[in-house]
């Protein structure tokens, strides 16, 4: 009887450990851990089309995640999407002529914002806008254009 109880305790321990591991994996995959208050500063960019970009999508520079998308709004005057990015405070030396582009990770992967540094000696500050932005490439639009061009031949 004692041996059976010990086995049950060990099985329970490993089941609990497995559930904790699954919980940690789910948190990592869903970026929920990025919801914690992040000290940094907000930069904004206007894009004609953001494709499938979402809040909490990564903002990268040279392949390194330097921040996250904090909000996506619509500018009624310019008819463009306004993307606010929370940049980590340790990356406070981004040149003010940096460009922001929306890229896709892989062929059908998630979308993210990639920053390409300019050569200016002045840096972006809290609330500044990116002057140079490039919208997302929409795969359906490209396929449609290709098919139309082939039909015209």
Distance CA 3, CA 134 (A): 66
Per-residue pLDDT tens for 65-102? 999 999 999 999 999 999 999 999 899 899 989 999 99
Per-residue pLDDT tens for 15-71? 999 999 999 888 777 655 555 546 789 999 999 999 889 998 999 999 899 999 999
- Arithmetic mean of pLDDT, 5-11: 89
Judge whether residue 107 has pLDDT over 70. Answer: no
Q: What is the mean pLDDT of the chain?
A: 86
- Give the pair of three-digit tokens for residue 121: 């000696």
**Residue ranges covered by each domain of the chain:** 2-30, 37-144
Judge whether residue 113 has pLDDT over 70. Answer: yes
CB atoms within 10 A of CB 74: 9
| Sequence-ordered strand ranges (E) for the chain | 40-47, 58-61, 64-75, 80-88, 99-104, 111-116, 132-134
Distance CA 21, CA 52 (A): 29
Assessment of whether the complete model's pTM goes beyond 0.85 = no
- Give the pair of three-digit tokens for residue 72: 């996506």
């Amino acid at each position: 009887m004692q041996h059976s109880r010990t086995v049950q305790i060990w099985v329970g321990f490993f089941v609990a450990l497995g559930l904790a591991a699954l919980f940690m994996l789910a948190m990592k995959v869903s970026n929920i851990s990025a919801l914690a208050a992040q000290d940094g500063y907000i930069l904004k960019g206007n894009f004609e089309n953001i494709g499938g970009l979402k809040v909490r999508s990564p903002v990268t520079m040279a392949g390194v995640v330097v921040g996250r998308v904090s909000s996506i709004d619509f500018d009624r005057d310019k008819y463009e999407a306004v993307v606010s990015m929370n940049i980590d405070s340790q990356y406070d030396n981004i040149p003010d002529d940096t460009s922001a582009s929306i890229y896709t990770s892989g062929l059908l992967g998630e979308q993210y914002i990639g920053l390409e540094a300019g050569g200016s000696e002045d840096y972006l500050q809290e609330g500044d806008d990116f002057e140079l932005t490039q919208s997302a490439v929409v795969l359906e639009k490209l396929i449609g254009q290709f098919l139309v061009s082939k039909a015209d031949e």
